[in-house]
Structure 1
Amino acid sequence: MITNSQIPPYSPKPRSGVKDFFLTMFASMFGFILAQVALFLFLFGIILVLAASAGSGEVSVKSNSILKITMDQEIIDSQRDETDFLTSLLQDETGKKNSLQEYLNAINTAAGDDNIKAIYLELSDPNSNLTNLQEIWDALAEFKKTGKKIFAYSDAYSARGLYMASVADKIWLNPQGSVLFKGLGMEIPMFGPLLNALGVEAQVTKVGKYKSAVEPYTLQKATEENRTQLKAWAGGLWNSYLQKISAKTKLDNTRLNQIADSLTSFDPKAAMNYGLVDTLIYRHEIKDKIRDELNQNDDPNYISFSDYLTTGAGQFKYVNSDEVRIIYAEGTIISGESTDTEIGSDTFVEAVKDATEDESVKAVVLRVNSPGGDALASDIMYRQLQLLKAKKPLIISMGNYAASGGYYISAPGTVVVASPNTITGSIGVYGLHFNLKNLMNNKLGIFFDTVKTNKYSDFMSSSRQLSPYELEVLQKSVDRVYDTFTGLVATDRKLSLEKVEEIAQGRIWFAPDALQNGLVDTLGGLRDAIKIAAESAGLYKYSVTYTSTSESFFKKLFRSMNVKTRGILYQSKVSDKLQPFLQEIDRAEKLNGVLMLMPYKPVFF
């Protein structure tokens, strides 16, 4: 046996186990931090090179140009932050995105641009909801009033593609293509049987017979109340859709529904005979067609939508120091800071404070595209909006969704403007708790040994079932939030509590119905809301500015790195199909507690 005194002088002195552990741990942490710094500097260098190269090539609009719009990239509500130029270079797993306002501004600019002679829509399946598409459709219709023409072509029109093409002077289709004209359908994934099989129990407390956001976690089939409101939603969207198609084809709704029920528009010749398209031509014939339509001898000069944006066409124009400020509220409402898909109450409050205190801001337009979310975060946002409203006009512009928590933050508006295709209301509250005890104990063999100081220290722990008393406590909290919700709607909308209770109960309302029952003041788009805001503030000349509430570049960078890693691991056709459903489960996990959220957003097909 060798003692310490016998250890040769060149041998390292033995370290204690604890000390050795911490030295190893800190060395590993230091190495990890160095690697992250090196990776960051490497990526930052690449981004700077890309930024320099992106700015080196100037785009000019040639005379007799045709603006080409494809709408392949996702169209979102929130305008990108002009000051955060690095964000535009960052692409996440869904690719680059364009904002609704970029489309509206660019089309408006093109209408007055002498170098733009026409717009060419090359459409398959525009990547946006029908609410945003209608606003773009209306902007294109305004473009046509200048005497300029619009042409549309597709190898195969989806329902949304045909909707957008209906604004064109000429609609062209590949002779071997098809038109997907079949009505609207909704799919609601029901996780109840799956959760039961996994040993997961969803414990629910709620107010409102139509508050069906919890149904996917507890049932196999939607309730009749839920089916009633979803049918009204789908029916309203379909009728709005048919208005555009009817104006193009001169066919009434009865005849259009007969065509949809027959599926005969899959035949391109039948689609042309119905008037859904004007001519069957191949792609290589398009330039000759456009040249003939415009009475030109030369081939058209195409400029892509993305290139046109680089000329500043998609941005607001500065007029003077009087501002109408747009604040975007897009995504699920959460506490804390915003992400690309979530509205953080802290981020939102700062944006509202800034608009309130900025003396150059004379009126505010709040653009809401949210199904709701966390109840407390919604109330924090609401209270800050009340402070703004006390000083200057607050106009609400509703996008695709302004429901539940999304309606909560819309209620204080001086004027509430809903798109004709908006879904709003859903004035209801629910509590959701997932009990994983059976899954952990019996399926996975995992047990939790709890030590606590008080009887209910582990209240809302997912490792056990809530007791009847705990459910009663949660129900009282849900009831209190619901009473607050209905009370503020009654006050802000100048309705009686009895009337609010009649239209509440968690029911979603299609915009025209919401107008009738007093939840909104008028129907219109974002541009209409801006005009109303200016009039409310007594402005005749003004600049339109906006506040971006999305996450910063650096936060987005690290989140995107994480998302890309997960995407590499899980990317497949199956995962693409399941992605909306997996996102819904992830959303439910994040929002465990008292919530104001509309029913699960159905998948339209």
Structure 2
Amino acid sequence: MPVSRLRARVRPPRVLALDLSQPVTDAPPGGLVGRLSGPKRPQLRDVLEVLEAAAADPRVRVLHARVDQPAASWAHAEELREAVAAFRRSGKPALAHAQSFGEAGDGTLSYFVAAAFDEVWLQPSGEVGLVGVAREERFLADMLDKLDVRPELDRRHEYKTAANVATHREFTDAHREFADRMVESHYEHLVAGVGGDRSLSHEAVTALVDRAPIAAEEARDAGLVDRLAYRDEVVAESKQRAGEGAQVTTLAAYRSLVRRRQLRPGRRTTVALVHGHGAIQAGRNRRSMMGPVMGSDTVTLGFQQAIRDKKVRAICFRVDSPGGSAVASDAVWRAVARAREAGKPVVVSMGSVAGSGGYWVAMGADRIVAAHGTLTGSIGVVSGKFVLRGLRERLGITSDAVERGAHARMFSTEQSFSDDEWEQVQAFLDRVYDEFVRKVAEGRAMSPEEVHEHARGRVWTGADAAERGLVDRLGGYRAAFATVRQLVGLPTDARLRVRVLPRQSLAERLGIKQSDFDDARAVARELGAALRGAGLDAGVVRMSGDAARD
């Protein structure tokens, strides 16, 4: 038997198969319980890491990916496209396949990702729903009127539109202005990207968008799709191109291989990765009814551990947050400042959104990296309350109160703000906005007047934010880690050891919530009290309580 064939049997070529039939997630990895019980959505950083390793691995000959729904945001789509483009530069073929790019629905983002591959394959019964970009918002003012709910909200300034959903019935001029610019920025990026990938002119792509959704055969004839085939045919073609004896390797299997390689001895520079994901509130990371919460205590702990760890040379802070508490945001801002004071450069990598408080936590970093489609800025503030008294009375619910202090019921939903209280709301808005602008000016080396011009609550895409000095560089994780290498004086190809902080406790790795421990301690205390009341030894109960606390 020829040596080449024997070697192929011992170390057969690989086809890397990515299942992106569900959108990638950028949230920090959950515990074991969540992994076993929840849907298996691929982690964005896992996909990027695997594609980078596969490009340099001579055994990986072909990439094929199922891309029915790979991304739920423009920023994630762009990061996937960049990673695929980097893989293609290795000279290895990359094939994308979908049953349909939006079956009777919007498949724009799915196709945007697929277009970055060498070839786009589509099931014969599918279609290309490259329908374009739109932004729709629902306004609740009429509904609240009918319910006798009165919003008493104000903002700084006219582009800070978070409260508009409750106070208006349609776009204000400022709201429409930034929404239109946002859509235009995404659309132009889409058209340019698809045109470049598929060798189509700007005019040709816009004409195809206006015709979409487009049936499979028509899409192939128009140059949007290369071949019409079923999934098994794509797998067979990939194995044939990879060579005799080729084996298909999944994302999870190849990721495990990559992680084992990273444990081998060798010089690597350690970089901390701290996640800031979700609405910003004081306390620990957690999930609420509205989604994930970025707890200022958890993020601050991550920075503290990075500062104390002598092996950590720099920190990459991944921010994906629409904002939240100004006070909690400021606590995270301070953690970033302390890391820099300790000589640890901080590079912020913005995900899908990093606006309002999401920008507050980022503005003090050494460098800020955002995707073209990241939604950021929103430098402004909203405050107020909803008065529910009318709704309560309609429902037959009565209330009464006693109070001490002129403003004891200032935030009660039973009554409107008094004139004096409304003045205090205005003072709060001015104070927070002025502090926000001042800290942006300090962090971005701009004057407060310059910042105000780009602030006033306005949301920018990453590309527009970069033009205005609010962002340093466009890109995702890859660009952020390249910036880290630059700041610590490493070669561009230096290998990094990424350490995710804060370190998770055993309970967190298992996915057990802090509230479960709180409940356990409460039960232990009550049981201990009962045993003591019965004259029994409660030492075991006290030990159980301590164990739960750890």
Mapped partners of 1:549, 1:199: distance in 2? 48
- What's the counterpart of residue 523 of structure 1? 474
Question: Would the alpha carbon gap of residues 188 and 335 (structure 1) be closer, same or farther in structure 2, given more than 3 Å must change?
Answer: same
Q: How much does 1:322 deviate?
A: 4.0
- What's the counterpart of residue 352 of structure 2? 400
- What's the counterpart of residue 293 of structure 2? 342
- What's the counterpart of residue 546 of structure 1? 500
Mapped partners of 1:315, 1:207: distance in 2? 51
Cα-to-partner distance string for 1:63-98 (whole Å, 9 max, x where unaligned): 2222211223442224437xx6x3563434xx2333
Q: How much does 1:270 deviate?
A: 1.5
Q: How much does 1:555 deviate?
A: 9.3
**Of residues 88, 91, 101 in structure 1, which corresponds to 2:37?**
91
- What's the counterpart of residue 528 of structure 2? none
Cα-to-partner distance string for 1:24-64 (whole Å, 9 max, x where unaligned): xxxxxxxxxxxxxxxxxxxxxxxxxxxxxxxxxxxxx9722
**Of residues 227, 230, 234 in structure 2, which corresponds to 1:286?**
234
- What's the counterpart of residue 6 of structure 2? none
Superposition TM-score, scaled by structure 2 size: 0.84
Mapped partners of 2:42, 2:261: distance in 1? 12
- What's the counterpart of residue 175 of structure 2? 226
Question: Would the alpha carbon gap of residues 558 and 396 (structure 1) be closer, same or farther in structure 2, given more than 3 Å must change?
Answer: closer
Cα-to-partner distance string for 1:492-529 (whole Å, 9 max, x where unaligned): 11111111111111011112221121111222221222
Is 2:365 the partner of 1:453?
no
**Of residues 114, 124, 128 in structure 2, which corresponds to 1:165?**
114
Cα-to-partner distance string for 1:402-426 (whole Å, 9 max, x where unaligned): 1111111111111122222222111
Mapped partners of 1:365, 1:401: distance in 2? 16
Mapped partners of 2:382, 2:354: distance in 1? 17
Contact 2:301 2:502 in 1 (8 A): no
Mapped partners of 2:399, 2:47: distance in 1? 54
Q: Which amino acid aligns with 1:339?
A: R
Matches within 5 A, 1:252-291: 252-263=201-212, 265-291=213-239
Matches within 5 A, 1:133-282: 133-157=77-101, 158-263=107-212, 265-282=213-230
- What's the counterpart of residue 505 of structure 1? 456
Mapped partners of 1:528, 1:554: distance in 2? 29
Mapped partners of 1:450, 1:556: distance in 2? 42
Contact 1:166 1:248 in 2 (8 A): yes
Q: Which amino acid aligns with 1:302?
A: V
Q: How much does 1:317 deviate?
A: 5.7
Q: How much does 1:454 deviate?
A: 2.1
Contact 2:149 2:389 in 1 (8 A): yes
Mapped partners of 2:473, 2:374: distance in 1? 12
Mapped partners of 1:268, 1:194: distance in 2? 43
Mapped partners of 1:142, 1:99: distance in 2? 18
Which structure is higher in RCO with an 8 Å CA cutoff and minimum separation 6? 1
Q: Which amino acid aligns with 2:215?
A: D
Q: How much does 1:223 deviate?
A: 1.0
Contact 2:299 2:502 in 1 (8 A): no
Mapped partners of 2:449, 2:166: distance in 1? 31
**Of residues 346, 356, 359 in structure 1, which corresponds to 2:310?**
359
- What's the counterpart of residue 270 of structure 2? 323
Question: Would the alpha carbon gap of residues 549 and 371 (structure 1) be closer, same or farther in structure 2, given more than 3 Å must change?
Answer: farther
Mapped partners of 2:339, 2:233: distance in 1? 56
Matches within 5 A, 1:404-415: 404-415=356-367
**Of residues 301, 311, 320 in structure 2, which corresponds to 1:369?**
320
Question: Would the alpha carbon gap of residues 177 and 559 (structure 1) be closer, same or farther in structure 2, given more than 3 Å must change?
Answer: farther
Q: How much does 1:301 deviate?
A: 3.0
Is 2:253 the partner of 1:307?
yes
Contact 2:23 2:69 in 1 (8 A): no
Q: Which amino acid aligns with 1:286?
A: V
Matches within 5 A, 1:20-31: none
Superposition TM-score, scaled by structure 1 size: 0.76
- What's the counterpart of residue 584 of structure 1? none
Question: Would the alpha carbon gap of residues 334 and 235 (structure 1) be closer, same or farther in structure 2, given more than 3 Å must change?
Answer: same
Mapped partners of 1:377, 1:287: distance in 2? 49
Contact 1:368 1:406 in 2 (8 A): yes
Q: Which amino acid aligns with 2:339?
A: L
Q: How much does 1:338 deviate?
A: 0.9
Question: Would the alpha carbon gap of residues 271 and 395 (structure 1) be closer, same or farther in structure 2, given more than 3 Å must change?
Answer: same
Number of residue equivalences: 493
Cα RMSD (Å) of the superposition? 2.6
Contact 1:348 1:549 in 2 (8 A): no
- Give identity over the alignment, percent: 28
- What's the counterpart of residue 424 of structure 2? 473
Q: How much does 1:288 deviate?
A: 4.3
- What's the counterpart of residue 61 of structure 2? 117
Contact 1:79 1:548 in 2 (8 A): no
Gaps spanning 5+ residues in structure 1: where? 1-60, 562-605
